[in-house]
Amino acid sequence: PPGEARPAWKILRVLGNLFNLDGFDYTASDQVREELRQQVGDKMANNKTAWQIPSTLTVEPAKGLQRITEMPIYSVDALVRRAGALQHTIDAKITERVHINTNVAAQLSLGDDQKVQVKQNGANVTLPVVIDDRVPDDGVLIYAGQVAHAQLGAWYGQIELSAAT
């Protein structure tokens, strides 16, 4: 309840004392800060520096179509997976489809709702296509957590598409 929350260090102190652990006898946050300063010394956090890509890092450009995976909003836990009303929404219905943009669809001569053969990691599945221009060029969005394409394996990597016969 509002006004009754305890600082984390006090909760940890009580837990440490309940388990008879050494080093949990603080009575004020100043004591915690002072001991931390003694252990860390002059090393202070400097959040003003930006992360830099190491100069030794080499990245090979991706070849071909690349799988992009997201966990669908109505598949995240047992409660929403079993909520019939949520599973009948458009957000739930588009998850068992392959999402590609207009450019990729044109290159592969595919149209909306057309069946496509999806190949990844030696597995093949047939799924309907959704033309979705939010997907980047050379990207294929396939939602995670769906029985229809679980056998595809990894959530990322090279993927092949072709019109289903």
Domain ranges for the chain, please list them: 8-40, 65-163
Type and span of the H or E element at 8: helix 8-18
* Predicted pLDDT at 1: 65
pLDDT tens, residue by residue, 56-97: 888 788 899 999 999 988 888 889 889 999 989 988 888 889
* Predicted pLDDT at 70: 93
Asked if residue 157 lies in contact with residue 62, where contact means CB atoms within 8 angstroms, the answer is no
* Predicted pLDDT at 96: 85
Rounded distance between C-alpha atoms, residue 159 and residue 165, angstroms: 18
Segments of the chain scoring below 50 in pLDDT: none
Asked if residue 34 lies in contact with residue 107, where contact means CB atoms within 8 angstroms, the answer is no
The CATH number of the domain covering residues in 65-163: 2.40.40.20
* Predicted pLDDT at 124: 94
Closest CA to 103 of 140, 60, 68: 140
Helices (H), 24-126: 29-40, 78-81, 84-87, 90-93, 102-107
* Predicted pLDDT at 81: 86
Closest CA to 87 of 111, 27, 78: 78
* Predicted pLDDT at 74: 85
